[in-house]
């Protein structure tokens, strides 16, 4: 299994506080049979500029790699980030913010309202040859209330990610996105070892039981393709329909 969204780098965001905590989280990932991880600390244009962020991320990564037990785990690592959506993405060089060596870029959206310029910015990113991975899509009420908005972005080439924790909690939006073939990626978004811990194996087991092994293979293959920087297979989308006020 591969985890493409987690906050394990030490002392850089609201995830791991220090190297000891990062090591504990990585050991748990290993226990969960995770073989490769992309580290995706939060990046917000309003808080830090890109160059400074990349420097801070590199320092944090090096601090983590200086712990001998980390390499002994035999997990492959890649750097990435979780970018808080901004129309500034239109004027920013995207390559340094992508998952290392790929054209995939992890973007989180506001949870209150659909941001101004969302469609324009995502389409521009696609036109520039990059592929947005939309973080934890189950969290955005404007997509839950009108899933066609998300459906259209996926049809245009965006990748929709859902959180392992949401699946395990039985989050209705997350499960509907799986049912409609819209969810393409499951990640932990792990922040710590208590409330938001690494839990990919549990989520995959849940999906296997509820939807069957093909779904697990599909999620796993997508994660591998993105980690490698290959194209992900086109999703088998089932367009949501609103019947008597309910999306089915
Ligand atoms: Fe996150």
Say how far apart CA 235 and CA 81 lie, in whole Å: 24
CA 112 – CA 94 distance, rounded (Å): 25
Return the pLDDT at 237.
93
Question: Where do the domains of the chain lie?
Answer: 2-229
3-state secondary structure of 70: helix
* Choices 3.40.50.880, 3.40.50.300, 3.10.200.10, 3.20.20.140: CATH for 2-229: 3.20.20.140
pLDDT for position 3 = 98
d(CA 37, ligand 1 centre) in Å: 13
Residues near ligand 1 ion, CB 5 Å cutoff: 82, 189
Q: What is the whole-number distance in angstroms between the Cα of residue 191 and the centre of ligand 1?
A: 8
Between the CA of 132 and the centroid of ligand 1 the distance, in Å, is 15
Token look-up 């987690």 returns: 6
Distance 196 CA to ligand 1 centre (A): 10
Q: Is 73 helix (H, G, I), strand (E, B) or coil?
A: coil
Q: How far is the CA of 237 from the centre of ligand 1 (A)?
A: 25
The sign of the dihedral angle between the CA atoms of 147, 105, 77, 58 is negative
Position 139 scores a pLDDT of: 98
pLDDT < 50 stretches in the chain:
none
pLDDT of residue 74: 97
Can you give the pLDDT at residue 20?
98
pTM above 0.95, yes or no: yes
What pLDDT score does 178 carry?
Answer: 96
Element (H, E) at 187: strand 185-187
């Amino acid at each position: 299994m591969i985890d493409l969204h987690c906050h394990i780098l030490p002392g850089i965001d609201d995830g791991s506080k220090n190297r000891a905590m990062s090591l504990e989280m990585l050991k748990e990932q290993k226990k969960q049979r995770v073989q490769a991880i992309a580290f995706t600390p939060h990046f917000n244009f309003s808080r830090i500029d890109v160059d400074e962020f990349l420097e801070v991320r590199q320092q944090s990564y090096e601090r983590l790699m200086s712990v001998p037990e980390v390499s002994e785990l035999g997990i492959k690592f890649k750097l990435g980030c979780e970018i808080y959506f901004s129309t500034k993405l239109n004027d920013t060089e995207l390559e340094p913010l992508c998952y290392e060596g790929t054209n995939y870029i992890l973007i989180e959206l506001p949870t209150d309202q659909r941001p101004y310029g969302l469609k324009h910015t995502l389409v521009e990113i696609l036109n520039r040859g990059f592929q947005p991975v939309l973080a934890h899509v189950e969290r955005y009420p404007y997509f839950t209330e009108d899933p066609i908005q998300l459906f259209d972005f996926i049809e245009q080439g965006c990748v929709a990610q859902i959180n392992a924790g949401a699946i395990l909690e039985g989050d209705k939006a997350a499960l509907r996105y799986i049912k409609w073939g819209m969810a393409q990626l499951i990640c932990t978004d792990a922040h710590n070892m208590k409330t938001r811990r690494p839990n990919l194996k549990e989520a995959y087991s849940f999906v296997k039981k509820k939807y069957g092994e093909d779904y697990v293979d599909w999620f796993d293959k997508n994660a591998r393709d993105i980690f490698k920087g290959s194209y992900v297979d086109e999703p088998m989308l089932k367009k949501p329909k609103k019947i008597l006020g309910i999306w089915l």
